[in-house]
Structure 1
């Protein structure tokens, strides 16, 4: 008896919203068909003089509403029946759209989507087993290079979104052997992991399936490198520490080299594209630098990467530093002539402030030379900074000596604080060079607008490192200095500067020719045996050149 009483007290089972919608749809559809059937049957009897069964009328109604035909009753002779038929046709079209929305589309939306079916055939590809940064940045880099890849994403919605956007992405657990097999890990050549504490498990599982895999792992701290090496990681990268080192190197190793001739000095100098430059977004081949008759574009810094002989289609962003070779007076004149450009300091910074003493700031402090005066700022006293305080406050920056500093390295943990620190520092000193680490690649332009002279994005640098690792290339850092050497013209006698500079087999370039106390840099110049030539390139390139060339 109690059982029945309990059941009676339970609330009645309610329909779901979709079930109620389907019920209303079915009742409405049946009601419309029955109503039209009765009206059609009566109309045929009274207006057309055709006595027919209700079932035949129902057939005609359904045929009309579904636009499949009209049977033997057409045509109709009276206006009333023709109007009724038009009404039924329009109603059928409306019901067709409602059917799609209520039944057909939801049915397909609820059908499980197998993202694996969207993958193209893969061999010697890259498997990205989780990527915790801006995924599109690294995938766009791979797409641009034409590299085959599969991203194994553990978040289902994110995997579907990326797959819908055209990326080669599947949903799965990177620690699961079966899911790695779905990414054809056994045929892959490189595994990229960025999974925090799950990295060791992912790497060990992947190496069980493919012992020949090369493994690159991004890690939050350099302290984990030894442990990751033990589990099979070939190269581990701590992005924040890496960028801290690069910012320190950029601050202490500016490129400004010269070789004196009789009337002028020829050299390689940096020209920084500032945020207010009219060259922002301009292709290199459309800028005035390569068209200058006496100057040569040797290389350029693009998002922390030094590219020798930049491609003509590369675009100048507000974070680009161009390395221009030629007569120093011409370089200076060009930099002053173009609004929004300025030359960075010719000497290494001697008084540097580091804002943020985390992984990146500590790495930057360690990389700065011993003769550099360094002042550190952090709001956490446990990091033992010189100044404890908020880097976004003017009092903190003044206490660190912002007015006397030659450079400020901003390596705080979040982009909002970094942008505010940049803006505050620029308001306090117009001369200090601001070198900034940004996490989100989209914030780079904002940092430059705030006053930064040079920024590195964690996302962009990681993407470039992935691309360089895939191609077996070594990303050139500021430590790999550009060198300028003299050589005898006998090695190039009879060659034109344009042909020498455009030779794809040479990873160095001839800046100019010294002849009778003058420096000739025009591409139409022909080299004579008695000339001296100036050759510029990276350390490695110049060393190779020196082994084969006749130096003067």
Structure 2
């Protein structure tokens, strides 16, 4: 049980109310026993004229308080010592009743439990006012980041289950000021709401108690964002739309400027679950340590890192963008098992299956020069093709044989998995990117043939973690671009030194010298060299502005 865990060494603010009570009980009992031991030892020497060791006195006091007997010390001849023994006996009985009520009954009987007793002291914490997704994933993410929080859950059984599992959860109605006060909303720094139509009421009530709160709200549709901003929500996030946008951006290829890039190949490398790279930090991966290859970027849980942090661990569903000579990339792929490589080429056509909130956001994220065909079963959503996306004929009609990517954003996970399986049976080359609701469906999507999977539950939890750290919750990811630049910003440095400068949001891929592109990290950048630089649109624009102003 949670009440019996080792509390030694914890800070008082980390203890629940019940743990603090237990600690106080133990301390008080120790003081009483010590006091009686000293008085009894003095009485035996002074009043009874029978001096003995303090350890013998301690044993007699404990025997008396627990009513197990008195040993060889009884009887006592003086009234004062008999009065002391009676007092010790009564104290022992009283402590026995207190122990029974405070510790034994709550531990071993099904008595009504106040979940508030399990909350630790809160300050500058996160208050979560309802969460309609997988609460366990969210709370595990917060505890992994050592973030203090309090969850208000309106379902009593769910709140009890979460609390029994060790999470900081209470049962209550977040629209009620009293229940927000139980979560110490007045000392919180961030409010997370995921309560549907009740969101506005919860936010307004919380801001009455703490006007300095930052507020992040999960919403089903982006059309509610302006209204929530008006009442004080700092950021509104529609997970379905955000994931649709990220899937679209993930499917787009880098843009290489200039005709001298034929010697440089760019690949996406997807880490599979059975890969030896699973769990390996970026800095220790053979891809990063290869002298002729450049790790340009990586997608981790749907978020683009450019460049990835050396401490970031490679997990299944991680996608790395690697640039270098084609033969070197092929050799690397032969050496590393459990990964899948995809050469980045100009997309011929993209298919979006499912035209709800996510599918619409994905479609809008594509530039005008990419052909997009939409499929949906509802004619009211005005898709290009009305039909069942799980039917092979519907996908053939959409041109799956010529398409470079299929984005699956249908309403249910079962439909998504069947769509992936059907699409993979029709094309072994197409890149399949899919959105699922439940985190555990990610593995099934990979087995069905998906190349890239984002879970609503996992992405939502990551968004909360980003909000806790004050990062942008919704930040559109630009296409990766590669441009040629002169040597001025890099003169005298090696490729290795420039690549490992984590302060820069762009990375040099190689050096053009004498008609040959050199990618060896030991290459020193010299006068008259040209450098191939990779980065997002925004990073490349910033780089070009910096070069022009220097």
Fold shared per TM-score above 0.5: yes
Contact 2:484–2:531 (CA under 8 A) maintained in structure 1: yes
- The CA deviation at 1:184 is 1.9
Q: How far apart, CA to CA, are the structure 2 residues paired with 1:539 and 1:325?
A: 17
Matched, 1:423 2:404: no
Following superposition, the deviation at residue 200 of structure 1 comes to 1.2
- SS of 2:425's equivalent? helix
Deviations 1:164-188 (A, max 9, x none): 3333322221111111112221222
Are the counterparts in 2 of residues 261 and 518 from structure 1 also a CA contact under 8 Å?
Answer: no
2:317 matched to which residue of 1?
319
The answer for the alignment partner of 1:255 in structure 2 is 254
2:539 aligned partner: 541
Contact 1:216 1:233 in 2 (8 A): yes
Closer, same or farther: CA 178–397 of 1 in aligned 2, 3 Å: same
Matches within 5 A, 1:174-193: 174-193=174-193
Asked whether the 8 Å contact 1:488–1:550 carries over to 2, the reply is no
Aligned counterparts, 1:377-416, within 5 A: 377-416=375-414
- 2:162 alignment partner in structure 1: 162
The answer to whether the Cα contact below 8 Å between 2:309 and 2:502 also exists between their aligned partners in 1 is: no
Give how far 1:367 is off. Answer: 3.3
SS, match of residue 312 in structure 2: coil
Cα displacement string for residues 438-476 of structure 1 (whole angstroms, at most 9, x for unaligned residues): 111121121011101111111122122222223232368
- 2:221 pairs with 1:221: yes
Q: Is the 8 A contact 1:350 1:371 kept in 2?
A: no
CA contact (8 A) 2:256 2:483 kept: no
Query: Cα–Cα, structure 1 residues 483 and 137, in superposed 2: closer, same or farther, change >3 Å?
Result: same
- Mapped to 2, the partners of 1:516 and 1:389 lie a distance apart of 56
RMSD: 3.4
Could you tell me how far 1:145 is from its partner in structure 2? Answer: 2.8
**Residue 206 of structure 1: CA displacement?**
0.6
Cα pair 1:271 1:324 within 8 Å, conserved: yes
Aligned match of 1:230: 230
Contact 1:422 1:434 in 2 (8 A): yes
Q: Separation in 1 of the partners of 2:214 and 2:105?
A: 44
Gapped regions of structure 2 (runs ≥ 5):
1-62, 73-99
Give the match for residue 136 of structure 2: 136
**In 2, Cα distance between the equivalents of 1:426 and 1:107?**
54
My pick for the range that moved more, 513-522 or 419-428, is 513-522
How far apart, CA to CA, are the structure 2 residues paired with 1:330 and 1:478?
32
Partner of 1:39 in structure 2? none
Q: Secondary structure at the match of 1:323?
A: strand
- Residues 325-404 of structure 1: pairs in structure 2 closer than 5 A: 325-335=323-333, 338-344=336-342, 346-404=344-402
Of 220-229 and 490-499, the range deviating more from structure 2: 490-499
CA offsets per residue over residues 2-31 of structure 1, 9 Å max, x none?
Answer: xxxxxxxxxxxxxxxxxxxxxxxxxxxxxx
**Conserved in 1, the CA contact under 8 Å of 2:432 and 2:450?**
yes
- So what's the TM-score if we normalise by structure 2? 0.73
**Partner residue in 2 for 1:290:** 288
Query: How many residues matched?
Result: 457
**Range that drifts further, 367-376 or 156-165:** 367-376
Partners of 1:354 and 1:515 lie apart in 2 by 43
Separation in 1, partners of 2:549, 2:332: 30
Structure 1: runs of 5+ lacking an equivalent:
1-62, 73-99
**Corresponding position of 1:112:** 112
Match of 2:200 in 1: 200
Deviation at 1:349, TM superposition (A): 3.1
Alpha-carbon distance change, 335 to 108 in structure 1, aligned in 2, over 3 angstroms: same
Instruction: Provide the residue aligned with 2:212 in structure 1.
Output: 212
Residue 10 (structure 1) aligns with: none
Secondary structure in 1 aligned to 2:411? Answer: coil
Q: SS of the counterpart of 2:113?
A: coil
The equivalent residue for 2:33 is: none
Query: Structure 1 residue 228: deviation in Å?
Result: 2.1
Range that drifts further, 128-137 or 364-373: 364-373
Query: Residue 490 of structure 1 contacts residue 531 of structure 1 at CA under 8 Å; is this kept in 2?
Result: no
Is the Cα–Cα contact under 8 Å of residues 281 and 317 in structure 1 kept in the other structure? yes
Greater mean deviation of Cα atoms: 200-209 or 276-285? 276-285
Deviates more, 1:339-348 or 1:119-128: 339-348
Cα distance in 2 for residues equivalent to 1:541 and 1:401: 35
Counterpart-to-counterpart distance in 1, 2:331 and 2:257: 16
Give the deviation of 1:543 after TM superposition: 3.6
- CA deviations over 1:135-167 (Å, ceiling 9, x no partner): 122222223333332222222232233233333
| Matched ranges for 1:25-64 at <5 A | none
1:243-300 deviations in whole A, cap 9, x for unaligned? 222222333x2125366659x6346543333567554454434432112121121220
Q: Quick one: distance in 1 between partners of 2:512 and 2:385? A: 52
SS at match of 1:440: coil
Residue equivalent to 2:451: 453
- 8 Å Cα contact 1:127/1:151 also seen in 2: yes
Secondary structure at the counterpart of residue 410 of structure 2: coil
Higher alpha-carbon Rg:
1
**Equivalent pair of 2:446/2:453 in contact (CA under 8 Å):** yes
More deviation, 462-471/512-521: 512-521
